[in-house]
Amino acid sequence: MNRRELFRTAAGLAGAIALGQADWAINRPRNTAIADLEARLALDPRRPQFHLLPQRNWMNDPNGPIYWKGQYHMFFQYNPDAAVWGDMHWAHAVSPDMVHWRHLPIALAPTPGGPDAAGCFSGTAVVDNGVVTVLYTGVVNSTLANATLNDGQHIFRESQCLATSIDPDLKTWKKLAAPVIAAPPPGLSITGFRDPSPWRSGEWWYLAVGSGNAHTGGDVLLYRSRDLRHWQYLHKLVSGEQSAKGAINPVANGDMWECPDFFPLGEKHVLIYSSRGGVHWQTGTLDKEAMRFHPEKTGILDYGAFYAAKTQLDQQGNRILWGWIPEQRPAAEYSAAGWAGMMSLPRVLRMQPDGGLGVAFSPAVHSLRTREHRLDPSQKIQSQLAGLFLPRATGEILAQLNCDHRAFSFSLIAKFPHKQQSQPIVEIAYDPSSRQIFADKKAVPIAWDRDNLLQLHIYVDGSVAEILLSGKAVYTKRFYYAGEDAPGIYVHLQAAGQILNSFRLWHLKAISPNRLTTG
């Protein structure tokens, strides 16, 4: 499911909920209802302990992550009024290390009568002459004839807007009154026009904008400017292929590419974009004279619950990937829960020797480790695994397995305290006949090294598991359970013979005493 499908599902709930929650926002006065909700969310075992998420209500795309004056700033799409999509603002959080976060006041809110009156959609933050500047998509309600976004539920006109901040904490923002790009290029029949992503090259700023065409597929529009305010359309940076079938929502079938991000990595350039329910990558060569991108390899960044990815550079110059982890339960359930969505853990992107895209969790997350357990390979594995678990559905696992001629199944199982019952969470399986890895029966392509080893790096947090497979693929899984007690997470390994080379397990510290329900 992509974000527009989630939005349509939630839209039916939004109106009634907003009437009762209109004062629920990060920087609005607290009242009894807010205090009661926060107290409940602080005890919700499904709410994560070390992933970034708002104090309450709905979140989606990461926006404008940036390292500025010794701090990491993260903005993200946020509904201050309810735990469903709607009324998009830019929420704001800050961290010294990309792991320990605290909330700051909302950065951007819709301006009545302005180009973002119906919502401040996604965008990017850059530094221009010492000033942090964001380019973002503003939307207004529109007639069908003038719309650039029509997903069967919402009809919006999109434009690209700009705001700046001159205070060191990025708490105060000043918007330009008019869009810097008011409309798509004339003559193009487009399926969308949003999510601007600028970068600097020489004397020029360049800007990628997500778009597409119902007859040719998704694409990325390319602009250039000397000052971020006056833009010239050049051409399409890259285009996709026509989809096999039509759809009411062009994102669902690949006729619209959302959230483009374009950057150099090693000796290549990388484009990431979101479409068809997932985040896709292309690596290749940028012709800097013609300013056209020539993809050479393609892939998927995450085979599970992960969307609207965005990157930034960390303090050391590493390319860090963030993504929205959406809910995978019915809208009525997450609306009643009072919160929806979370940010992924930071992931480091690297160029592989074969030109593919590699990924690893940022070592910054290691700061959460406390108690460690290791298996002794000389002893019986099953009996050792039976005594190890992640308490309260929170922790980290690092395992290495042989992928030779033997099939295996590596599963996470939830076992509940005081109950004689268990619940499967996720299964990673290997089929030696096809040399294929499967995550919950979904094929996950892996380019094997000569040693035929599978490295699993897993973080479990409340109701999410992020699973890295040999630094080449990721599978993010949401899981849910009833009651007020979080389960212990155990590993079940089914294999013929000894295929587990090593196994390490850590308990992890929470980043907040109350699941980030206060600042």
Q: Indicate which residues carry an active-site annotation.
A: 61
Three-state secondary-structure class, residue 213: strand
With beta carbons less than 8 A apart as the criterion, state whether 425 and 394 touch.
no
Which residues, in sequence order, are bridge partners of residue 127?
132
Give the Cα separation of 362 and 100 in Å (integer).
Answer: 13
Give the Cα separation of 180 and 161 in Å (integer).
Answer: 6
Give the Cα separation of 509 and 512 in Å (integer).
Answer: 9
Q: Which residue matches tokens 């996604």?
A: 122
DSSP 109-140: -PPTTSTTTTEEEEEEEEEETTEEEEEEEEEE
CB-CB neighbours of 434 under 10 Å? 9
Q: What HEC string does 274-304 produce?
A: EECCEEEEEEEEEECCCCEEEEEEEEECCCC
Q: For residue 517, give every residue at least 6 positions away whose Cβ sits within 8 Å of its Cβ, in sequence order, or none.
A: 38, 39, 41, 42, 55, 56
Q: For residue 112, give every residue at least 6 positions away whose Cβ sits within 8 Å of its Cβ, in sequence order, or none.
A: none
Count of alpha carbons within 13 angstroms of residue 516, beta-carbon side:
27
Residue 309's region, left for phi above 0, alpha for psi from -120 to 50, else beta, is beta
DSSP 443-512: EE-----TT-EEEEEEEEESSEEEEEETTTEEEEEE----SSSPPEEEEEEEESS--EEEEEEEEE--SS
Query: What size, in residues, is the chain?
Result: 519
Give the Cα separation of 445 and 436 in Å (integer).
Answer: 7
Give the Cα separation of 93 and 170 in Å (integer).
Answer: 10
Give the Cα separation of 427 and 354 in Å (integer).
Answer: 28
Give the Cα separation of 374 and 384 in Å (integer).
Answer: 9
SS3 content of the chain, % helix, strand, coil (to 5): 10, 50, 40
With beta carbons less than 8 A apart as the criterion, state whether 310 and 261 touch.
yes
Q: Cα(first)–Cα(last) distance of the chain, in Å?
A: 31
The alpha carbon dihedral of 227, 231, 235, 237 has a sign of positive
Q: Is 361 exposed, middle or buried (0-12, 13-18, 19+ CB in 10 A)?
A: buried
